[in-house]
Amino acid sequence: MSNQTIHKEQVSRIYPSNEHLMFRESLRKFVEKEVEPHFTQWEEERLIPRELWLKLGNQGFLCPFVDEKYGGMGVDFGFAAILSEELARVGTGLSGISLHSNVVTPYISSFGTEEQKKRFLPKFVSGELISAIAMTEPGAGSDLQNISTTAIKDGSDYIVNGQKTFITNGILSDVVLVACKTDPKATPAHRGVSLLLIERGMAGFSRGRKLDKVGMHSQDTAELIFEDVRVPAANLLGEEGKGFLYLMDKLQQERLLTAIGGIVAAEDMLDITLQYVKERQAFGKPISKFQNTQFKLAEIATLVQIGRTFVDDLIVKHMEGQDIVTEVSMAKWWITDMARRISAECMQLHGGYGYMEEYKIARRYRDAAVAPIYAGSNEIMKIIIAKNLGM
């Protein structure tokens, strides 16, 4: 038996399992009923209603990996991947739900105290509390160790001052995981970074404007402002000065989820374009009969298939606990860049209709533009790859 055959058998046994498939089927039915009919309206309103979070939580779709004693199902990463995929098939504007469930919550599960887990996790699972993570600042994006938001110890509290921007779930969030400097003079700088859980209603914590983005309209993105916010030391996540290490520990999963969203978007663009070219007539025949159309879609289909194979392999490796930082960086860069490129090609194949908002490809085109930027820009991904190649 070849190694390739063995690997295929392992993949089919680990992911997707029968339990994964049942979860996907149940979630897809929910999405078809509760999400798809309303998504265009949410895009226009620039917000996902809180009611959807509660419905997702009630059905057990949020934070499924959380331990059962905190209200979750205690399942593996495959369920998180499925949640991201099924929401991404509708639209990238739903990504804030995956960020809450699959990015922010794992920080508390991994590094939180027992008190923090009991206080936050059950309501994260139910959808009663919505979370966000605040790293990016007006003057600091990918360079996380040089953030300027400070948290200075004052007795048993921290006094937080600073500003964050481009924060997903910035308007709706009830709990924000904030990267800040507890030791602004630390050398090297990353040793001064800590993570604090800042809650809605804390004096001095306010939202700036809801940002008007090119795409991802239904996903609320905002500025967050901290003016002498007094945060109890009980809201420190993990140990002081280890925030940067915690962020690095979880970025592999966040970037894998970004690659998953990218491949789903690419698959969807291929599907809707194939359907369109078979129906659209020009010069007396479907435009799918023209060689240029056939060659272009053959190229796109090949890219999408390569991307899907790569992502599924990484999902299994991540579930097994392998260190795949290099491969995930490759996937995040290559797949999001590929999705952005084919969005323009698929729009072109739609002709003038592709530029109309009533056609889904227009939204996909707008939404694809930002994926190479967030979760670490693709330029940063190339730096990581090069460094891990020994350069």
Token pair belonging to 278 = 């078979």
**Cα 252 to Cα 97, 221, 332, 384, distances in angstroms:** 18, 22, 10, 12
Sign of CA dihedral 31, 301, 381, 223: negative
- CA within 13 Å, CB half, 107: 33
43, 137, 254, 327: which one is catalytic? Answer: 254
**DSSP calls for 57-99:** HHTT-SSTTS-GGGTS----HHHHHHHHHHHHHH-GGGHHHHI
Quote the DSSP letter at residue 141.
S
Q: What is the DSSP string of 352-364?
A: GGGGSTTSHHHHH
- Closest by CA to 195, choosing from 65, 101, 108, 103, is 108
* 145 three-state secondary structure: helix
> Using a CB cutoff of 8 Å and minimum separation of 24, what contacts does 207-214 make?
207/170, 207/171, 208/163, 208/165, 210/46, 210/170, 210/171, 211/165, 211/166, 211/170, 213/370, 214/366, 214/369, 214/370
Which of these, 294, 298, 385, 377, lies nearest to 337 by C-alpha position? Answer: 377
Pair of tokens at residue 139: 């003057």
Question: Can you say how many angstroms the Cα of residue 58 is from the centroid of all Cα atoms in its chain?
Answer: 22
Give CA–CA dist 309/332, Å, rounded. Answer: 14
Is 254 catalytic? The answer is yes
Please give the positions annotated as active site: 254
